[in-house]
Structure 1
Amino acid sequence: MIEIQNLTKRYGEKVAVDDVSFTVRPGVVTGFLGPNGAGKSTTMRAVVGLDRPTSGTAHVDGRPYRELRDPLRRVGALLEAKAVHKGRSAFDHLSALAATHRIPAARVHEVIGMTGLENVAKKRVGGFSLGMGQRLGIAAALLGDPQTLILDEPVNGLDPEGVVWVRRLARSLAAEGRAVFISSHLMSEMALTADRIVVMGRGRVLADTDIADLVAAATERSVTVRTPEPERLLDAIAGPDVTIGYEGDGSLQVRGLGAEQIGEAAGAARIVLHQLATTEASLEQAYLELTHDQVEYRSEVAR
C-alpha cells in the first residue's frame, strides 16, 4: 500500500508537488492522470526515494522506501524503461537485479516468460524497440513478486496486443490483493483498467475518486437525435434549460432533456425520429473538463 500525506516538493522557486495526499490501496488498480507538468512523475519518484520530499511523506507499507529492508520484494516500479545498461542482455540485467536482492534465478526465467521476452532474452538491450524495453521494465518491476506495483506509462510504445496484456496484467495483480498504481495518457485504456482515479493538475490533487463517480460528477449526459424534421423537433422540445447542438453528420445533441421526454414530445407532434440515443459521458470528457484550466503546455489548433 502507498500512503502519501501532505507531500510537497520544490525545486528552487518551482513547486512541482503541492500538499498532495492520497492512498493506493491493495486489491485496487489506481489510475494516475494529469497533464504534462502536473507533478505525476515527481510524486512517483518520491514514493521510491528518488526525490526527497520538501515536506510531507510518501510511504510504502507504512515506511519510507529507503527504510525497506527488501525493497524489490515490497514494491516494483517502472519509471524509466531506458534506465538499463545497453550493453547487457535482458537476461543479464534481470539476473543482476535478482542477485542483489537474493531472488532465486528461477524467478528471472518466470518474469521473462510472463512478459514475452523469451525470444530476445539473450539480446543486448541497446537493440530493443521501445515496446520491448517497456516489457523489460515491467519484468524488472515484477521480479521481486512485490505487493505494490508502480507503473509509469507502461503501455508507451506497445502494440495493441501489448496494451491489452498490460491491462489484463494490472487487473490480475489487483485481483491477487496487490496495490497497483498506474499512469497513462490513454484515457480509453485507463477507463478499462483502473478502479479508482487520482487526477493532478499544477501539482495538486484535483480528484481522488472512483471512475464512475468522476464521470458522473464532471460531465453532463446528452441525447443524440436524428430526424428528417429538425426544425419541428426544435419547436417541440424548446425550453429555457434545453440546449441543442448541430453535429457534422446531421444529428442533434440535446442537453437538458432525457431520451424519454424527447421521444414523447416527438410522438405528440407526430415527428419521425431515425435515431434517439443517450450519449454516455466518457472518462476522457470528464478528465478534459476537470483539467481544462490546469494545462501548463497548451497547443493551438491550426485555423
Structure 2
Amino acid sequence: MIVAENLTKRYGSTTAVDDVSFTVRPGQVTGFLGPNGAGKSTTMRMIVGLDAPSAGRVSVGGHRYTQSRSPLTEVGVLLDAKAVHTGRSARVHLRAMAATHGIANTRVDEVIALTGLEAVAGKRAGKFSLGMGQRLGIAAALLGDPQTLILDEPVNGLDPEGVRWVRQLVRHLAGEGRTVLLSSHLMSEMSQTADHVIVLGRGRVIADAPLPDLVRAWTRNEVLVRTPRASDLAGALGSPDVTVTDAGDGGLLVAGVSARAIGDLAAERGIPLHELTPRTGSLEEAYMALTEGAVQYKTKEIA
C-alpha cells in the first residue's frame, strides 16, 4: 500500500505538488492521471525518495521507501527507461542490479523472457529503440518480484502487442494482491486497465475515485438517433428532463431518456428510425471535463 499524507514539494517560488493526500491500495490497478506539469512525476519521485518532500510524508508498505532493507524486492519502479548504462547489454545491466540484492541470475533470465527481450539481451542498451528500452525498464522493475509496482508511462513507445501485454501484466499482478500505481496519457488504454483513478491538476488532487464512478460523475449518456423526421421526433421528446441537440445529417443526440423509450415513442408516432445508438461516457471525456481548468500548457484549437 502507498499512502501519501499532505505531500508538498516546492522548487523556489514554484509549488509543484500542493498538499496531496491519497492511498493506493493492493489488489487493484490505480491510474495516476493529470495534464503535463500537474505534478505526477514529482509525486512518484517523492514516493521512492528521489525528491524530498517540502512538507508531508509518503510511505510504501508502512514505511518510507528509503528505509527499505531490500528495495528491489519491495518496490519495482520505472520512472525513466533511459536510466541505464548505455554501454552495458540488457543482461549485464539486469545482472548488476540483481547482484546488489543477491538475486539469482535465473531470475534475470526469467524477466528477460517475460518482457520479450531474449533476442536482444546481449545487445548494448544504448542501441535500444524507445520500445525496447521500456521493456528493459519493466524487466528491471519486476526483477525482485516486488509487492508494489510504480510505473510512469510504461507503454510509451510500445507497439500494440506490447501495450496489450503491459495491460495484461499489471492486471495479473494486481489480481495477485499487489499494489500497482500506473501513470499514462493514453485514456483509452487506462480505461481498459485501471480500477481506480487519481487525477492531479496544478499540483492538487482533483479526483480520487473508482473509474466507473468518475466517468458517471463527469459525463452523460446519450442516444444518437437518425430519422428523416428529426423535427417531429424532437418535438415528441420535448420534456424538462430531456435534452435534444442537432448532430447533423438528420441526426439527434438525446440525453435523459433511454434508447428503448425513444424507439417505443417513435413507433407510436409512426416515425421511421434509421439509427438508434446508445453512447456511454468515456474516461477521456470525463478527464477532459475534469481537467479543463487545470491545464497548465494549453494549445490553440484548430478550426
Larger mean Cα displacement after TM superposition, 75-84 or 261-270: 261-270
Aligned residue for 1:63, secondary structure, equals: coil
Q: Give 1:183's aligned amino acid.
A: S
CA-to-partner distance for each residue in 1:220-259, whole Å, 9 max, x for gaps? 1111101111121122112344332233554211123322
Change (3 A) 1:249 1:84: farther
CA-to-partner distance for each residue in 1:79-135, whole Å, 9 max, x for gaps? 000111111110111011011111111111111011000000010011100000000
CA-to-partner distance for each residue in 1:33-81, whole Å, 9 max, x for gaps? 1111111001100000001001111111111111111111100100000
Equivalent residue, structure 2, for 1:24: 24
2: CA distance, partners of 1:58 / 1:166: 26
Equivalent residue, structure 2, for 1:96: 96
2: CA distance, partners of 1:276 / 1:197: 32
2: CA distance, partners of 1:169 / 1:297: 32
2: CA distance, partners of 1:110 / 1:246: 56
Equivalent residue, structure 2, for 1:111: 111
Residues 131 and 156 in structure 2, CA contact (< 8 A), matched pair in contact too: yes
Aligned residue for 1:41, secondary structure, equals: helix
- 1:53-202 alignment, distance < 5 Å: 53-202=53-202
Larger mean Cα displacement after TM superposition, 59-68 or 272-281: 272-281
2: CA distance, partners of 1:181 / 1:34: 14
Report deviation, 1:261: 3.2
- 1:201-220 alignment, distance < 5 Å: 201-220=201-220
Equivalent residue, structure 2, for 1:288: 288
| TM-score normalised by L of structure 2 | 0.97
Taking only aligned residues, the RMSD between alpha carbons, in angstroms, comes to: 1.2
Change (3 A) 1:6 1:112: same
Aligned residue for 2:9, secondary structure, equals: strand
Q: Give 1:195's aligned amino acid.
A: D
2: CA distance, partners of 1:160 / 1:116: 14
Percentage of identical aligned residues: 63
Change (3 A) 1:92 1:250: farther
Residues 230 and 250 in structure 2, CA contact (< 8 A), matched pair in contact too: no
Aligned residue for 2:138, secondary structure, equals: helix
Larger mean Cα displacement after TM superposition, 148-157 or 62-71: 62-71
Q: Give 1:165's aligned amino acid.
A: W
CA-to-partner distance for each residue in 1:181-201, whole Å, 9 max, x for gaps? 101111111111111111111
Aligned residue for 1:122, secondary structure, equals: coil
Equivalent residue, structure 2, for 1:6: 6
Report deviation, 1:166: 0.1
Aligned residue for 2:278, secondary structure, equals: strand
1: CA distance, partners of 2:247 / 2:13: 46
Report deviation, 1:24: 1.1
Equivalent residue, structure 2, for 1:228: 228
> Which 4+ runs in 1 deviate beyond 6 A?
none
Residues 72 and 143 in structure 2, CA contact (< 8 A), matched pair in contact too: yes
CA-to-partner distance for each residue in 1:9-42, whole Å, 9 max, x for gaps? 1111111111111111111111111111111001
> Does 1:35 find its partner at 2:35?
yes
Change (3 A) 1:280 1:124: same
2: CA distance, partners of 1:249 / 1:90: 56
Aligned residue for 1:52, secondary structure, equals: coil
Larger mean Cα displacement after TM superposition, 200-209 or 256-265: 256-265
1: CA distance, partners of 2:12 / 2:60: 27
Q: Give 1:84's aligned amino acid.
A: V
1: CA distance, partners of 2:114 / 2:62: 29
Aligned residue for 1:247, secondary structure, equals: strand
Q: Give 1:76's aligned amino acid.
A: G
Larger mean Cα displacement after TM superposition, 109-118 or 277-286: 277-286
